[in-house]
Amino acid sequence: MRRQSLHDIQKTANVYHRYPQYDLSSQRGRLERWNDLLRHEPVRLLTTFTNTEDISAEMRDGLRCEESPVSVAFADPLLREAGLAGDTYGDARRFFGLSDRQLHRIVCYCHHGAQTYAAGVACQVRAAYPRTGGPGIMSRVWTAIAGRHA
């Protein structure tokens, strides 16, 4: 093994100067990691899943495609070590703890077209983060208008 400077290594590898810590035992930590992977290459073109809403749950769970948002997650050794079993729709749904509706919004053709940029998918992943305390925006608006909780 030969010694190389950080500058030389950066020419051939992705080098993270600050390695963020993720709580991969939580849904939010897993989604944060996926989001960061997508944001790391924001203009990377990703392939979407087609017609996920038009097929049976069993067929949908087996769907996979090359260069998809799910394959980005599966390529990550941290997420695989945390339990991501494969790069299928069903593997992602179970591992990230998402509903079909949430994952559909993140990876389906009908929302993004045949291909989409990783940055756009990252926005959808962030939208799926579990809420942390307090009512949502609509509940707060309703309270402000009506003076009570919806």
Name the phi and psi angles at 115, rounded to 5. -135, 155
Cβ–Cβ contacts within 10 Å for residue 63, how many? 19
Give CA–CA dist 115/68, Å, rounded: 9
Give CA–CA dist 46/115, Å, rounded: 5
Q: pLDDT tens digits for the chain (150 residues)? A: 677 776 676 677 766 655 568 899 999 999 999 999 999 999 999 999 998 889 999 999 999 999 999 999 999 999 999 999 999 999 999 999 999 999 999 999 998 899 999 999 999 999 999 877 666 677 778 778 876 554
Give CA–CA dist 55/42, Å, rounded: 30
